[in-house]
Amino acid sequence: MIEIRGLTRRFGSFRAVDDVSLTVTPGKIFGLIGANGAGKTTLIRMLCGLLPPSEGSASVFGCDIVKDRYRIRERIGYMSQKFSLYPDLTVWENLDFYARLYGVSDRRNRVEELVEEFRLKESVRRPVYALGGGLRQRVAFAAALVHSPLLLILDEPTSGVDPLTRRLFWEQLYERTERGATVLVTTHYMDEAERCDEVALMNRGRIVVSGGVREIRDRFRSRLGERPSLEDIFADVIRRGGDDDKQELG
């Protein structure tokens, strides 16, 4: 679904993303984990065709992120950290706007479906500026799904939202993957990392651990005990300088 080979993005001499290679398997939830400034958003913006790479290459749905960027953008559902909704429009108008933008054929039905799924019924006539943070995130998530994309790229969708909304988000992500979609999600919540099928930990622009959650745990078992948490594993790798885990643990 996503193939990344040696992707690098420099800002001046600073490498925000540094020689990243990754594969995201179709139908899975892939978690990109890392502290603030690790390079997650920069990597995602390149994958969405919003920022050209300095070096390396990547493909999404087999489309090149530079040459075919417009085709990629049409086919993914991207929820950025930045506020993507129109504050003066109502919830319904925002969803309808995005449905129109993506050429959704039965707009009314699709918007109604999303209102139902994201429990927005009471808020449909309210302007977005008047909504609380959790509700706004729900609307932004619904907007990213309006064209039923097969790939969802979500940049910290649960940052600052209430526990109920977080649960709703995760239920939605499981449901989407069950229906065949693929999800790439960034987070710095470790409990959310544990909910993913596959994860990659980013530190200072580089991927320092990646793989299936179970497989990563197995790799670290001898070193960190019977059932190490991802938090223990990530803390251990970063403490030891990041890049050396593969050489040391094989």
Ligand X SMILES: Nc1ncnc2c1ncn2[C@@H]1O[C@H](COP(=O)(O)OP(=O)(O)OP(=O)(O)O)[C@@H](O)[C@H]1O
Task: Compute how many residues bind ligand X; rule: CB under 6 A.
Answer: 11
Nearer to ligand X, 40 or 217 (CB): 40
Answer for which of 2, 7, 24, 38 binds ligand X (CB under 6 A) is: 38
Question: How do beta strands 2-11 and 14-24 pair?
Answer: antiparallel
CB proximity list for 146: less than 8 A, separation 6 or greater: 77, 95, 98, 99, 102, 104, 110, 111, 114
CA–CA distances in Å: residue 205 to residues 25, 95, 120, 153: 22, 34, 37, 19
> Cα(166)–Cα(181) distance, rounded to whole angstroms?
19
Please tell me whether residue 39 binds ligand X under the rule CB under 6 A.
yes
List binders of ligand X among 72-131 (CB under 6 A): 81
Among 20, 33, 40, 142, binds ligand X (CB under 6 A): 40
Q: How far is the CB of 27 from ligand X (least distance, A)?
A: 25
In the complex with ligand X, the residue whose CB is nearer, 35 or 130, is 35
Nearer Cβ to ligand X, position 65 or 146? 65
161 contacts 192 by C-beta, under 8 angstroms: no
Q: Does 42 bind ligand X (CB under 6 A)?
A: yes
Nearest to 111 by CA among 137, 73, 147, 158: 147
22-30, 31-39, 68-76, 217-225 -> range binding ligand X (CB under 6 A): 31-39
- Please pick, from the candidates 13, 36, 222, 247, the single residue that binds ligand X as defined by CB under 6 A: 36
103 phi and psi angles, rounded to 5 deg: 65, 35
Q: Would you count residue 56 as binding ligand X (CB under 6 A)?
A: no
Shortest distance, CB of residue 233 to ligand X, whole angstroms?
19
Q: How far is the CB of 84 from ligand X (least distance, A)?
A: 15
Of 19-27, 38-46, 59-67, 84-92, the segment contacting ligand X by CB under 6 A is 38-46
CB atoms within 10 A of CB 101: 12
The number of angstroms, rounded, from the C-alpha of 169 to the middle of its chain's C-alpha atoms is 12
Q: Which of 6, 11, 66, 240 binds ligand X (CB under 6 A)?
A: 11
Judged by CB under 6 A, which of 37, 52, 133, 241 binds ligand X? Answer: 37
- With tokens 């690790």, the residue in question is 38
Distance between CA atoms of 195 and 197, rounded to whole angstroms? 7
Sites of contact with ligand X (CB under 6 A): 11, 16, 34, 36-42, 81
